Amino acid sequence: MSLNRIKTLWQSGKPVFGALVTMPSPQVVQVLARSGFDFLLIDMEHGPIDLASAHAMIIATAGTPAVPVARIAANVPWLAKPLLDAGVLGITVPMVCSKADAEAAVKMVRYPPVGERMWGPFYAPLRWDMTMRDYLQAANESVISMIMIEHIDAVRSIDEIVAVPGVDVAIIGPGDLATSLGQYGNADHAEVQEAIRLAEQGILKAKVALGGVAFSPPQANRMVEAGYKMILLGFDWSLLQKGAAAAFDGVRR
């Protein structure tokens, strides 16, 4: 049994759309979770979010279609553990560059015998309105392992990375991928685009969902046509900026 609506949508052949949340604000999550997103990615890597704020933000998704997932700052279990125990149904691990990195990312999100997650889900059952027993039975099937492909070394090892059992999603990060190629802030560079193409090709060959970021609706549609199954449509700060700018459309100042 899976609690995860993301997996249900994938099984029906549909892509999922989400937003990256960087602000330590349950109120922002309340708004976004009721705005049509399938998932919200709580950013514990670059955003100023602490564990208490993250817990409140996870709770704020209750009663909505939005599945809470989180990105941690490094590939170490202790960063994922409290987020899982608070109720997220996915952990995104940055800078996965090898088979060993992918294996570690998978093990941290699942209980033995298939993983190494430690027991202590005091709040996750409450978030999902379940008994502890029922949560524990559903957890391994419900939590998804999400890895970031954002370095040229990852692209070079893509086949063996996505062949690791238990990897559910491989998300291409164009910003860091460009940086790893010496093209800071220039993801449109031909060398970066070729690396993205090779990464896409490797992920699409595997039984792993392809994920990425779209900066416009037309780009999102092109990505769906290309086989992407998990797409971020924006960041909380960028959505706020766009909304604020739109408020001035037609206003004479």
Which positions are catalytic?
46
Q: Between the CA of residue 195 and those of 97, 153, 233, 251, what are the distances in Å?
A: 14, 10, 22, 44
User: Is residue 70 within 8 Å of residue 88, measured between CB atoms?
Assistant: yes
Q: Between the CA of residue 245 and those of 19, 36, 45, 238, what are the distances in Å?
A: 19, 21, 27, 10
Instruction: Name 90's bridge partners.
Output: 144
Cα 224 from Cα 111, distance rounded (Å): 33
Instruction: Give the burial class of 188: count Cβ atoms within 10 A of its Cβ; 0-12 exposed, 13-18 middle, 19 or more buried.
Output: exposed
CB proximity list for 88: less than 8 A, separation 6 or greater: 42, 58, 68, 69, 70, 143
Three-class SS of residue 131? coil
> Which residue has tokens 């349950």?
26
Cα 103 from Cα 147, distance rounded (Å): 10
